């Protein structure tokens, strides 16, 4: 029995295999936020099919990357192997801040060195910043 190579692959998996997201969840978040287009149309579902020859545009922070799919993968391999999955004919486009995508992570709160442990008030303030339970009252 011969293995027939697949003709399409889920876009979230492909973005993860091609290392556009560190995790598959991040690739899914890019799609849900509307930061990925496939052949000129915004991708609405993470299960959209990617085929060889498709054109994908991904907005990562202040950078817009336009790529052409050259191959499909069966696993997430090293960066050199991932680079063979796509071609980037145009250079990366730097976007103005109003067109840039939101960051995928919340920034970490930092405290001054030597400030000691946070007090109860500090913890409440931190919780309000992060949307915690004291913010609901």
Q: How many CB atoms lie within 10 A of CB 11?
A: 24
* pLDDT of amino acid 3: 67
Cβ pair 11, 46 in contact under 8 A: yes
* pLDDT of amino acid 137: 47
| Mean pLDDT, residues 27-39 taken together | 92
**Predicted confidence (pLDDT) per residue in 102-125, tens digit:** 666 666 667 778 888 888 988 888
| Mean pLDDT, residues 58-72 taken together | 91
- Weakest mean pLDDT among 4-8, 32-36, 104-108: 104-108
* pLDDT of amino acid 124: 86
Q: At 58, phi and psi to the nearest 5?
A: -125, 130
- CA torsion angle 19 20 25 30 (round to 10): -170
Mean pLDDT of the chain, nearest integer = 84
Cβ pair 69, 14 in contact under 8 A: yes
- CA torsion angle 123 129 132 136 (round to 10): 110
- Kindly give, in sequence order, each residue whose CB lies less than 8 Å from that of residue 97, ignoring residues fewer than 6 positions away: 62
Higher pLDDT, 28 or 132: 28
Higher pLDDT, 93 or 70: 70
Give the start-to-end residue ranges of the domains of the chain: 9-94, 106-137
| Mean pLDDT, residues 85-96 taken together | 86
The domain covering 9-94 belongs, at the CATH homologous superfamily level, to: RNA-binding S4 domain (3.10.290.10)
Which DSSP helix (H) or strand (E) runs through 135? none
């Amino acid at each position: 029995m011969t293995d027939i190579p697949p003709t399409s692959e889920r876009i979230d998996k492909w973005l993860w295999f091609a290392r556009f997201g560190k995790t598959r969840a991040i690739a899914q978040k890019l799609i849900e936020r509307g930061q990925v287009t496939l052949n000129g149309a915004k991708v609405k579902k993470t299960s959209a099919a990617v085929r060889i020859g498709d054109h994908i545009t991904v907005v990562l922070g202040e950078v817009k990357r336009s790529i052409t799919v050259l191959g499909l993968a069966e696993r997430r391999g090293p960066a050199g192997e991932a680079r063979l999955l796509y071609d980037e004919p145009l250079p990366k486009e730097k976007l103005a801040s109003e067109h840039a995508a939101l960051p995928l992570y919340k920034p970490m709160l930092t405290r001054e060195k030597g400030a000691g442990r946070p007090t109860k008030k500090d913890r409440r303030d931190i919780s309000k910043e992060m949307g915690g339970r004291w913010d609901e009252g």
